Amino acid sequence: MKIKKEDPFLKIATDIFKQFVSSSKIVGLGSGSSVASTLVHLANLSSGVDLKFVPTSIQIKIAAESLGLNIADEGRIPEIDFALDGADQIDSNFNMIKGGGGALLKEKIVLETARTFVIVADKVKFVKRFEMPVPIEVHPFARISVLYLLEKMGLSPKLRLVAKGYPYITENGNIVYDTAFSPTHNLRGMEEDIKTIPGVIEVGFFTKKANCFYSINPDRTYSIFSP
């Protein structure tokens, strides 16, 4: 299904509002440019509606605040009715890799708790099989031990660095290993194995399926997929 629109985020936000947000009270917000672009229109559509938003990063919190949205703290997470997020890659089984922006821990908490959620992403992020490393958030004290144990599992972790060569630090004060792996059908099993390593905080595999996925095409149309 494709819908022509000069700004695809306006129509996507309208669909999301009608299907999910209009009956919600607490909304979770993932991070990234697709979420921010959709949120601009969602804020206009929800004007006058009693909504509270739980952001997963400073980036999206600032964006929500600038739109005059009501911000709720983590105490409202168990009450999240709906969440909006993006993804770094989505495979043919609608599994996702997330964490390119470093917010994987909070995003996973929100998406695992939300009653419903949707993903908005550019078409290029929809792939047959994963083609990128998976981010793994790690406590700094476990930097060497986790590196050793990931390599022992046959994985290829690489410490994420910022432009000046310093280690990238998440908002939670942790480091990230971007970890190359051989695609497998048992992503959940791999995720569970990695998370048994002491010092691993979270893994950027997201196997919980969204209610629907919005794929934005290069011609600014979009397609909707439901797993």
Q: Which residues are catalytic?
A: 107
**β-sheet bridge partners, residue 224:** 214
Helix (H) or strand (E) holding 198: none
Other beta carbons within 10 Å of 65: 13
Q: Is 110 helix (H, G, I), strand (E, B) or coil?
A: helix
CA 167/CA 159 separation, integer angstroms: 7
CA 212/CA 16 separation, integer angstroms: 10
Show Cβ contacts of residue 69 under 8 Å, excluding neighbours closer than 6 positions.
39, 43, 51, 53
Strands 89-90 and 96-97 come out as antiparallel
Using alpha carbons only, give the angle 109, 110, 116 rounded to the nearest 5 degrees: 130
Strands 175-180 and 156-159 come out as antiparallel
